[in-house]
Amino acid sequence: MERAIKQMTIGEEIPSLTKTAYMPIDPNTINVIHTDDYAQEFGMRGALIGGSTLLSYVVEMLYNYFGESWLYHGKIKVSYIGGGAINGDVVTAHGQVSAIESEEAGDRLILDVWMENQEGSKIVIGEASCIQTAR
C-alpha cells in the first residue's frame, strides 16, 4: 500500500533511523576483515560490520519514509568511508532532499544519504532517489 507523505522541499530531511550495529562474527570466514584479530592487526577497532548490513539500515530508513514506492521506484548508490562500524556501534542513517525532478510517475526526490556513528563521524555517504507519492 502506498502511503501519503508530506510534500518535501530541497534542504528538508526525512526521518532518520538509529540502530545498534550488529553482525554475527564467524571466526572461520574467508572474508577475514570481518574477524577481530585481522581487523585489529590493521589498526581497526574490531571486526567490521559488512557493508550490506550498513546499507540495509539506510534502505530501512528509506522504506520507512517512501513505503512501497521505494520497492518500485527506489534507487541508491553509496560509498563506505571513515573506518566503518563494529558490533555495538550506534549508527544513524540520514537523508536530505538535494533536488526534485519531475517524471511521468510523479516527483522524484533526490536525497543525499549518509550514516554517522555515535561519535558523529560519517561512515556511509551516497545518493538515493524515489518517486514521492502524495494524496
CATH number at residue 25: 3.10.129.10
Cell numbers standing for residue 23: 553482525
4 found inside a domain: no
123 found inside a domain: yes
pLDDT at 39 (0 to 100): 75
Q: CA-to-CA distance for 87 and 83, rounded, in angstroms?
A: 13
Confidence of residue 4 (pLDDT cuts 50, 70, 90): very low
Count of residues in the chain: 135
Residue 39: enclosing H or E segment and its boundaries? helix 36-41
11 found inside a domain: no
The mean pLDDT value of the chain amounts to 88
pLDDT at 134 (0 to 100): 53
- Segment 74-96, tens digit of pLDDT: 999 999 998 899 999 999 999 99
Phi and psi, residue 36, nearest 5°: -60, -50
Cross-strand partners of 97: 111
